[in-house]
Structure 1
Amino acid sequence: MPSSKILFTAAAICFLVAIAVPTAAITIGEDGAADDVALESTSPYATIDDGELTLDFAALNDRSRSEFDDVFSISVADDSIERIWLSHEVDGVTFYRDGDRNDELDESNPIVPAAGDTTSVGVAIDTHVAASGTKSFTVHVEYADEDDENADIELVDVAYSDAELGAGETLTVNATYRNYGDDRGSTIATLVVDGIVVDRQVVHVGAGETETVAFERSMDRSGTFEVGVDDRKPRSITVWPPGEPAPDFAVIEATLEADTIPRGESAAVTATIENTGNVTGETTIELAVGGAVVDTQLVELDPGEVTTVTFERQFDDPGEYAIAVSGVDAGTLTVTERELIVVLNREFTSSSAAAVVPAGVLGFLFAATGVRRRVNL
């Protein structure tokens, strides 16, 4: 079975809620980074100090539900990581990803990352059911089997449910893998649409065995799309405008606010979306960076309605990145090194500031520091 590290094992959720983690095999640095996983504060609710990530939610109302969409992020720098998920036993507290409050981040719905991916984590707190006390939560990081080097896994078949379908219908793609090696192993299956990786699944295959995974994708836009798995030659899938009442979405334009930014800064990408169908509906708009989807937004539009969506994404590494929104090219973003500015013969007044958080009816404080390693049996 895959080995896993339990990352940022937390203890103490209460009102006020405190979560502390014993440091173990992997230590988070002052910037929140571990060897191949990094936590970063992306909101005023999260701070990193002395290797601890602290989430502080003050003055929550009693018997209400509060959502905090972008509290902290999880970044991955190693392709050997297969899955990341969060677990806890706190009624009324939910972790979710990328601003989608219906996309709970748990073992049944984990992050399946590639190196360079960053996932935003939000927190929902329902004080109707959340009770005071001490609980815990854990971020699990699952790695590939250590025996993978003796596995030999190949994609042997790809089957499509349809070659033609109507806008709004679901396309199913079944990918079958065979392990020709001597040990159980795993690989990451990728669904590719028009050259962009739009979905991933981890596939575990025993020695000499086959395993099939199914991708399901709602085809919300009419047109012709090249759909494939991994590097297998794609197949042309035609999506017709709906013959019966149904929504049909089109990305009219996608643009970069700036085509050059310094490393560490965020780029803004804006897209214009129209529902060209004859029924109100919703669709998922996808931001792709370097040929892979890294963020999504859900939009709902009436017939003929036009709206714009904007993505903000931070880039920490210099280079050139192809940017697209739901398959529509937004341009190439160039990320440059920061210029070093040296200031000589200047005197600055030192000052310090203290932030005072007023006591509220309810509050949450989460902290995480380290890792211990385990093997799933």
Structure 2
Amino acid sequence: MTNRRTIALALTLVVAGSFAFPSTAASLFAGPTDQIGDEIELAPSSDYAYLDADDELVVDLSPTNPDLDAEGVNADGRTTIQDVFRIRYDGSQYAHVWLTHGSDAVTFAVDGQPIQSEANNVTLAPNESVAVSLTVDTTGRADGFVDDITIHSLVAEPETVAADTGGGNTGGADTADTSETPSIDGFAKRVTAPTEHSRRFVLLSGDPGSTEFNASRLALDPSGALTLDRISTTSENRSYSLTADTSGVGAAESVVVDAGAEPLGAVQMTVDSGTISGATMEFSAAKSFVAEREVEMANLAVYRYADGSLTELDTTATGERDNRLTFEAETPGFSTFVVAVKHPQLALSDADLSATTVAPGERVTVTASVSNNGTLAGNRTLTVRVNDEIAATRTVEVAPGATETVTVPVVRNETGEYTVSVDGVETGSFTVVAEDTPQTATVTETTAPPSTASATDTPVAEPGGFGLESLLGLVGLLAILAMVLVLARRTPGP
């Protein structure tokens, strides 16, 4: 069902002088309102608007407005008045609201975006309100302004709102759950002008502190499998706005690659008005997206790129929702954020040999260094080959940004030349050679002159004592003598 109502617009041009901008009124929805149908109401929010005797809204920029100290709108110029009146939706579904009139000199807008056609509308969630601004362009004009404006409201189902990502000021991004878009003291927390690559988040006259916005899964990658789902902001301001945009983030992704991580998607967050002291960003990824890339949730990281420097944020896996894995990151401020997966990047950085010539059985030491230029610690197994035959393997663990060195002894007993490689990269070669054979001295015999004693002559032994033969002869002689004596005793005398 479509509701239509007209509101009066009174305009008067002033040829000289300046247009006065009085302070805004404070009653808003606390007092009487202009009720349009059962679910849309209008409330003055400045001295330019008021309710007449029939409680119908009047926007009066003429001298007849008793609250204005001015004679009318500046001639031959462009005048913009922020927050002239506000629109609030009291229904239980969603509503598209827009204004139409017959003049190209008058523009009504919300957050700087015109809301003057069904295609360019503002979408309101239950109990949500928006501030409407007015621009009057009198350049080259003396008349031709409109006397009234028609307010249109069209109730829309959440599915219709979520699917509407066209141009204009449609606020359909904040539509995932009607219970998650409460009013804030009767004022507005909303998402405006969603497109395929952007969302704009606005808080109007809220309470300082924490505010959560639904980003309706803003896609961070071309497939839409990785998305920004929600943002919870902290601010001391009652009103502020920020924009999320996924286009033009290539520079930040390149920095992440240089840091050793693999970018999966990125978003640029810009604070358009007000200040934000901190935020929590919630992301999600389809399970198939994670499985195809063999990503472990513990290795997912969110990096913040600001002022030329890259910082890894505290990132926490928070569970599952709608067959998607969710995780969040806390940030002290807004800039460009890159969701990436951390990998070790291990490379053989150096290798050499301790010697190039050795003897058989002598050891040659192979020294190899492994560097990790990635963002995650990793292990690498090195294979040492000698003449294409595996001689040894070694496994080394390397922390991010570190270098580790391993040594491998190689021994060969056969002579010859041997080529050494580490992980297929030729390191050098060494040669095994036989030991040197000792030289044999040649001795030449010479006869020294008779009158000369040589220090090298063999000493002549002097005879001394009994030899064995002399001793045996003496013993035999004594034996014969003993026998003669025995015989002599036995022989009778004469």
TM-score normalised according to structure 1 size: 0.40
Q: Which has the higher helix share?
A: 2
Q: Which has the higher strand share?
A: 1
TM-score normalised according to structure 2 size: 0.31
Question: Greater RCO between the two (CA within 8 Å, min separation 6)?
Answer: 1
